[in-house]
Amino acid sequence: HYHLRCLRSGRVQDLPTPFDPDLITRLDPDLAARLRDQGFHVTGYRLELVGYFEGEGDDPRSKEKA
């Protein structure tokens, strides 16, 4: 499964999206073949979206806009 991670608080939450074993192929159809050519065989992957949950302190990006 996939995760959301808050860079400020460290909070981790499951992303309510079903696991897609073909996601890497969908993102880059030639990637698995190129990796195999280099001797690397993909057996799985992890996906973590990182950012900031609202209400868990100030968003550091807001200081850049000021």
Type of residue at 66: A
Check residue 55 and give its pLDDT: 86
Q: How much is the pTM?
A: 0.65
The radius of gyration of the chain's CA atoms, rounded to the nearest angstrom, is 17
Length of the chain: 66
Read off the pLDDT of residues 23-64 as tens digits, 9 standing for 90 and up: 988 999 899 889 989 999 888 899 999 999 998 766 555 555
Check residue 62 and give its pLDDT: 57
Domain that holds residue 31: 2-65
Asked whether residue 65 carries a pLDDT value surpassing 60, the answer given is: no
CATH number for the domain that contains residue 23: 3.30.1490.190
Counting the structural domains of the chain, the total is 1
Residue written as tokens 């806009």? 65
